[in-house]
Amino acid sequence: MILKVCGITNQEDSAAAIAGGATAIGFNFYPRSPRYIQPERAAEINSAPGVRRVGVFVNEDRARVEEIARIASLDVAQLHGDEAPSDYPASIAVWKAARVNEGFDFAQYDHCPAEALLLDAPAAELYGGSGKTFDWHLVSATARRIILAGGLDASNVAQAIALVHPWGVDACSRIESAPGKKDHKKMTEFLQAARAALCS
């Protein structure tokens, strides 16, 4: 079960996320993101045993992904660009992000070697998410591990989980006070609601 808080940029938010029950924290290494963090800074942010450290990348060179993974002690590369399996890093797990819209077809990922698919809303050029939800009814039954993202917070995560039955959920902008700064109350409420729904 994955309870992920993405867009971590400081130690205080990391500690609060983990105290609230997060099982994964995300660092955004896409330079155009308002939540971008340098790998060396991410390396200084402590997590906890058993909490997965996830790096968000967009069309990054495989060798660079592996280098950043070493620097920042990542467990997972979350790939949001046009990466093919041949671009996946060999040293860590991969979560492949996909934007869900009308006509979305899981068949295109039938042979995808990623550990999980992270499903998000279309966001034009805003790789990594827009903070908007998508129509969860578009997610048909699939044997793939699904991590649900896109506009989630305490107010809607239980409904989303009930419809999609994902392996995990991922939140970012809806639990912030500003880009890259988490609202600890909203974050904790999201994590509590998500855990209760995933465990029910």
- Between the alpha carbon of residue 63 and those of residues 10, 39, 56, 90, 155, the distances in Å are 26, 14, 15, 10, 40
| Residue type present at position 36 | Y
Class of residue 200 by CB neighbours under 10 A (exposed 0-12, middle 13-18, buried 19+): exposed
Angle at 162 between CA 156 and CA 165, to 5 degrees: 115
Among residues 120, 153, 170, 172, which one is catalytic?
Answer: 120
Asked if 49 and 73 touch (Cβ cutoff 8 Å), the reply is: no
**Residue 120 catalytic?**
yes
**Residue 6 catalytic?**
yes
Residues forming a β-bridge with 55 = 27, 77
List the structure tokens of 190: 């999201």
Among residues 6, 13, 153, 170, which one is catalytic?
Answer: 6
Give me the active site residues, please: 6, 120
